[in-house]
Amino acid sequence: MANPLFRLQKRLLDIMDIEQETRAAIVAEARTWVGTKYHVLGQLKRVGVDCMTLVVLVAKACGLLGDFEIKYYSPQFNLHRSTETYLDGVLKYCREVETPQPGDIVLWKFGRCYSHGAIVVDWPTVIHAHVKQGVVMENVEQAGWLTMNGSKPRERKFFSYWKCECPFSVNQRFRRSNSPHIPASTFRHPRPARRSPSSTAASGSRPTLSGTAISLPGPTRRAGRRARVQAATAAAL
């Protein structure tokens, strides 16, 4: 029988490989949109797209959003309201990170809220939809309008579809994905096996591997607590 720790390690490595493949798939899909004209609420490659629909459509093509529906929004929503429509939508599927990696999302604040987004190719290079140029690949550090807001640095945030640095806790929405890049079975976490009272008693005070975490049975915790109390009493005397 294979060592449970070995199986867990192999599973983690497999998920890390799939994460990298998915990131590469996002970047590759985004590149196919380069040259598409800018059109508010556009959703057709080589016809028209805007910065928000580009991010959504690329993610959907890679199986990250499933049947996500793009609802109507005013192209000037950032000028009249402080409601974080774009930001709140991204946070439903991503977490904020400090250092972007390929396939991550970056949002900039224009007007009263975060209203412009791009897909990270290899920071500071991104792919995004520009009002005048359409979908382009651009170096952020060479684009003054993305780096500065007058005399101040423009506010920006980075987001990742992966919830934590350990890819074993990858976004649970991937489980329902039908994308060929993300096998759904890969992200099914093994449930901890329930231990019967008889098996717990038979195991004594030895730690057991349960699912993906090391857990200590009840008798072990009680024995440890009793030992600490006895040691403290002896020290006091």
For the segment 203-212, what is each residue's pLDDT rounded down to a tens digit?
554 444 444 4
For the record, the structure tokens of 100 come out as 């972007």
d(CA 25, CA 65): 14
d(CA 135, CA 133): 7
Q: Could you tell me which CATH number the domain at 10-187 has? A: 3.90.1720.10
Q: Give the chain's length.
A: 237
Q: Provide long-range contacts, Cβ within 8 A and 24+ apart, for 162-168.
A: 162/19, 162/95, 163/95, 164/95, 166/12, 167/12, 167/15, 167/16, 167/18, 167/19, 168/11, 168/12, 168/15, 168/212
pLDDT class of 60 with cuts at 50, 70, 90: very high
For the record, the structure tokens of 225 come out as 């607590």
Q: How do the domains of the chain map onto residue ranges?
A: 10-187, 206-236
d(CA 50, CA 128): 8
pLDDT digits over 66-113, tens only?
888 888 888 888 887 788 989 999 999 999 999 999 999 999 999 999
* pTM attached to this predicted model: 0.66
